[in-house]
Structure 1
Amino acid sequence: MNIEQIRQPFTDIFPGDYSGNPMQRNTPKVLFATIEPAGFDSPKLIAFNESLSQEIGLGKYEAKDLNFLVGNNLPENIKTYATAYAGHQFGNWAGQLGDGRAILAGEITSRDGKKTEIQWKGAGATPYSRHADGRAVLRSSVREYLMSEAMYHLGVPTTRALSLAFTGEDVVRDIMYNGNPQLEKGAVVIRTAESFLRFGHFELLSAQGEYKTLQNLVDFTIDNYYPEIISDGIQKYKDFFENICTRTADLMTEWFRVGFVHGVMNTDNMSVLGLTIDYGPYSMMDEYDLNFTPNTTDLPGRRYAFGKQGQISQWNLWQLANALHPLIKDEKFLEDTLNHYGTYFWEAHDKMLCRKFGFDELRETDEEFFISWQGLMQELHLDYTLFFNQLEKLNLASDIKALFENISYSALDDEKTGKLEDFIKKYEERLSSNTISKEESLSLMKHSNPKFTLRNYLLYQCIEEINTGKNGMLEKLTHALENPYEELYPEFSAKRPDIYDDTAGCSTLSCSS
């Protein structure tokens, strides 16, 4: 790989170098802290994303590149650093936070001019690690590596993963926060993005009253990542906020489309570019449930449940609006923009559902149809992804019970089957009013409904196998996630087996890494 091209896009623009104790948390009035990765004596490569490496301009992998992939023996031109940000966590102001396990290598520009930031996750402590060690374990690293790539191939805006490697160290973690810490294998993942800037970066500067630096940061973000904004003065900052709202709503719509539940939508985990970032206690939807949250830390309030992701994103945008107010200085504009967000999101959401069902357009009566569908899905405990896969197979000769009984997480008795049959009749009536052909309708469905989603139990199986030194399932899952709209592996297109219902890491997870 050509790592000599990596440069620092951020540190030469904003003031505040800090090179002190790497365990020191409070770094007031600065935006970043220089810090070197810990270094590891016995790393071992698990996976390398060759196509991504070529795309972003790093080229082919060579054995000597393993050192860079874990942060060892870096060339002199690379000055590594972590950034400071703040955030609202579970609805409460948490003050200064920062990259506790992430260290930025810098930015690389590909031949076509595309800029990509490169970041290690799990390469050691930073000034923002608080009392943690900055390491990551294998299970969390595998989950981030695979799911970020799965989301990319599903067509969902996301960070991506370049590599996954063992560090050769063991790391102590209490996976369920129940007083049972255990040694686990350490790992480092390199993740990439156009930018890792979060809502929390702007919240920190605003909270500190560093309005000039806040303005510098916003100008930097617009100049580098929002070329569509050509206005100036206060209007530029208004356009910036409106664009973030639109990108965020579009991202939430995509999460709902594929059944993704983030699990920890704190403002410090929200991208100002509308990307999915920070793959922690996430889950793809198995049984459809608007109240499902995969994060044990989110119980019992279920703040970040699947069905609440739209309204939580709006709440998070309110916090960003507060942070940007010193630049925009227009309360009515911010309030009107945020009120419009709900209208825009739900219209985008319902249009997305129309495509999943194969409808030609959104009609007034469709909202009632969608509400009845949601109730049916929850009452019958139907699998979200598989329901739409089966719907594509529907025809006049279909035995409804036979078509859907194997995708229910509870038995379909006569009463439930009757409700399902009534719904299918309503669905067929709605389809018959389409102004597009059956072939066009089916094409909409096939492009909107994945055949494969990376379920937690599959990740669990993969992690268990990698722990034994085998990579067969990793390779198989990688092939499947790169082709999510094809049924390459029928064994993956099945509901979660019962044996994994109460297994930690399958149905629910903690924030522990």
Structure 2
Amino acid sequence: MTVHFPFQNTYAALPANFFARVAPTPVSAPRLIKLNRPLAIHLGLDPDLLETAEGAEILAGKALPAGADPIAMAYAGHQFGQFVPQLGDGRAILLGEVIDRDGVRRDIQLKGSGPTPFSRRGDGRAALGPVLREYIVSEAMAALGIPTTRSLAAAITGENVIRETVLPGAVLTRVAASHIRVGTFQYFAARGDVEGVRQLADHVIARHYPDLALTERPYHALLKGVIGRQAELVARWLLVGFIHGVMNTDNTSISGETIDYGPCAFMDDYDPATVFSSIDELGRYAYGNQPRIALWNLTRLAECLLPLFSEDKEKAIEEAQAILGEFAGKFTAAYQAGLRRKIGLFTARDGDEALVQDLLDAMAKNQADFTLTFRRLSEAAGDPASDHSVRELFTDASAYDEWAARWLERLAAEPQSPEERRNAMRSVNPAFIPRNHRVEAVIAAATTKDDYAPFEELLKVLSRPYEDQPEFAAYADPPLPDQRVMQTFCGT
């Protein structure tokens, strides 16, 4: 048998100025390092065939499967606030689309598969480290229940890439609801191509928001829909301590998925000003800035859609501003509801927001680990006598004691049993996240020793983030001082 992808190619059927047709650049010695077998099955693919030599050649870009129509998508974007009118897929090629077992259309894209017309003097390749990072973090996000692109496979190419040093080359096979970004709309808007914006909007509505097609004002509804998904997404990021790192408009997905995991990271100690990305020198995309930046990015989308709202520009702006004004309420509702769940509250009452904020403030002042604090609070909710494990996370334990007294009083006002509350909290407060020092150790083992056992073990742990897993308890620990990772890096 031969590897079969039941491809459809709806994006490739759009006008030619939406993309460039380009095939992956063949590599010399492809080797599959990891196949996401459950995801392959969900996509209607045969994992056994994908793990053959033929499958490895396809997943590394050496061979094209039947039915593929490979393209590099065109888009623009604001990068750290500066507009670049043409970016596009400089090292990624969309092979085609498949319909998964839930009836959802999914892109299958090779990342690191060679230069395209959008490469801007880049080599179009990816190094092994960033491929492993994206595989680990995207799959961890999926296990945490956060909308995200997925990783189907990672393969090494048998060739080196040159960055600051010589590194082994690799290709990631990425799966997404689509790869359409705010920057895709900006590409056409910057050229004054209103018809291109309209065609793209119609495609997005048909693919991601089909219920909006028959509404009275579908383009207004589209903006509202994207705002709702992004508000919910960023709230979910904050609730697990995730920092995107490069929240540019070209990394803001119209479908509402987390996309492009470059210099992303999870916080250890709680601090809203936390930045890891080596290229975010001014902290534009710091943890606490992410809601503001999301709205900024969505405002750029609204600007693109203005000609579709009304021929009267002032009226169009007024209508867009009214829709953008809904972001704050949607984000706050999602974020505050999530925080209440994290501290074990089943109902909303006056004072709850201040109660949670006081905890966060105490955590920030006392260098408390974000993930462990909430996880251990789950145990303290079940048995207040066990709160010593939370107290020890605070440099000044009395700060926790003062807050905990108010918290326990608030919990007593609800009828749930301690066990019910504990279980509810454990279901939203993970024990395991992809801590930076663990990810870096995995990358070091793979790149220097060709050893993927640590990679496999970390993936195994992160696939069940809400379970205790006593045999892997050390993976929940924050880094020791000499293990701290202070910067993460973009893969280009």
Letter in 1 for 2:369: D
- Where does residue 20 of structure 1 map in the other structure? none
How far apart, in 1, do the equivalents of 2:105 and 2:116 lie? 25
- Counterpart pick for 1:223 among 206, 210, 231: 206
- The Cα shift of 1:399 comes to 5.8
Secondary structure of the equivalent of 2:179?
coil
Find the counterpart in structure 2 of residue 284 from structure 1: 266
Contact 2:5–2:65, Cα closer than 8 Å, also in 1: yes
CA distance in 1, matches of 2:256, 2:452: 32
Deviates more, 1:121-130 or 1:90-99: 90-99
Q: Within 5 A, what are the aligned runs for 1:257-296?
A: 257-296=239-278
Q: Deviations over 1:403-440 (max 9, x none)?
A: 432x45xxx3xxx2222211111111111122433333
Deviations 1:216-251 (A, max 9, x none): 111111112212224345x11111111100000010
- Report the equivalent of 1:510: 489
Partner amino acid, structure 2, of 1:139: G
CA distance in 2, matches of 1:420, 1:378: 12
Q: Are 1:420 and 2:407 an aligned pair?
A: no
Q: Which residue of 2 aligns with 1:32?
A: 19
TM superposition shift of 1:39: 0.8
> Which letter maps to 2:349?
R
Between 149-158 and 442-451, report the one with greater CA deviation. 442-451
Provide the residue aligned with 2:158 in structure 1: 168
Mapping of 1:142-221 within 5 angstroms?
A: 142-173=132-163, 181-221=164-204
SS of 2:175 mapped into structure 1: strand
Distance 1:403 1:313 in 2: 32
| Superposition pairs of residues 37-48 of structure 1, within 5 angstroms | 37-48=24-35
Is 237-246 or 329-338 further displaced after alignment?
329-338
Using the alignment, how far apart are the partners of 2:89 and 2:410 within structure 1? 50
Q: 1:144-179: per-residue Cα shift (whole Å, max 9, x none)?
A: 111111111110000000100111111111xxxxxx
In structure 1, give the amino acid aligned to 2:110: W
Query: C-alpha displacement at 1:311, in angstroms?
Result: 1.0
Task: After TM superposition, give the deviation of residue 507 of structure 1 in Å.
Answer: 2.5
Once the two structures are TM-superposed, the CA of residue 362 in structure 1 deviates from its matched residue by: 2.3
**Equivalent residue, structure 2, for 1:19:** none
Alignment gaps of 5+ in structure 2: 311-315
CA distance in 2, matches of 1:432, 1:337: 40
Structure 1 regions of 5+ residues with no counterpart? 17-29, 174-180
CA gap 1:52/1:142 in 2 versus in 1, 3 angstroms:
same
Match of 2:304 in 1: 323
Deviations along 1:114-165, one digit per CA (max 9) or x if unpaired, are 3211000001011111011010001100001111111111100000001001
Describe how 1:318-467 pairs up with structure 2 within 5 A: 318-329=299-310, 330-394=316-380, 395-398=383-386, 400=388, 403-405=390-392, 407=393, 412=395, 416-467=396-447
Counterparts of 1:338 and 1:437, CA distance in 2: 41
Whether 2:287 is the aligned partner of 1:306: answer yes
Please say if residues 71 and 95 of structure 2, whose CA atoms lie closer than 8 Å, have aligned partners that are also in contact. yes
CA contact (8 A) 1:229 1:240 kept: yes
Residue 47 (structure 2) pairs with residue 60 (structure 1): yes
TM-score scaled by length of structure 1: 0.90
Cα displacement (A) at 1:79: 2.3
Q: 1:498 aligns with which of 471, 481, 489?
A: 481
- Indicate conservation of the 8 Å contact 2:3/2:55, yes or no: no
Calculate the TM-score normalised by the size of structure 2: 0.94
In structure 1, the residue corresponding to 2:107 is in which secondary structure?
strand
For residues 349-388 of structure 1, the C-alpha deviation after alignment (integer angstroms, 9 at most, x for no partner) is 1110000000122222112112211210111001000001
Q: Is the 8 A contact 1:56 1:115 kept in 2?
A: no
- CA shift, 1:462, in A, is 0.8
2:114 is equivalent to residue 124 of structure 1: yes
Q: Is the 8 A contact 1:140 1:280 kept in 2?
A: yes
Cα distance in 2 between the residues matched to 1:432 and 1:212: 59
Distance in 1 of aligned mates of 2:326 and 2:70? 40
- The secondary structure found in structure 2 opposite 1:169 is strand
Supply the AA of the counterpart residue of 1:272.
I
Tell me the CA shift for residue 273 of structure 1.
0.7
**Taking every aligned residue pair, what percent have the same amino acid on both sides?**
36
The Cα of 1:111 is off from its aligned counterpart by 5.3
Distance 1:482 1:126 in 2: 34
1:87 and 1:199 in contact (8 A); partners too: yes
Deviation at 1:398, TM superposition (A): 3.6
| Aligned partner letter, 1:15 | P
> Which residue number in structure 2 is paired with residue 11 of structure 1?
12
Q: Which residue pairs with 2:233 in the alignment?
A: 251
Cα separation, 2, equivalents of 1:280 and 1:136: 11
Rounded Cα–Cα distance in structure 1 between residues aligned with 2:226 and 2:104:
20
Contact 2:127 2:491 survives alignment (8 Å) = no
Provide the C-alpha distance between the structure 2 equivalents of 1:105 and 1:512, rounded to a whole number of angstroms.
Answer: 21
Q: CA RMSD in A?
A: 1.6
Contact 1:282 1:295 in 2 (8 A): yes
Structure 1 counterpart of 2:171, which letter?
V
Q: Distance in 1 between the 2:367 and 2:9 partners?
A: 50
1:108 maps to what in 2? Answer: 98
Equivalences, count: 478
Q: Does the 8 Å CA contact 1:56/1:114 hold for their aligned counterparts?
A: no
CA distance in structure 1 between the partners assigned to 2:340 and 2:63 by the alignment: 53
SS of the equivalent of 1:216 reads helix
In 2, the alpha carbon distance for the partners of 1:80 and 1:134 equals: 15
CA offset at residue 215 of structure 1?
Answer: 0.8
Aligned pair partner of 1:80 in 63, 70, 87: 70
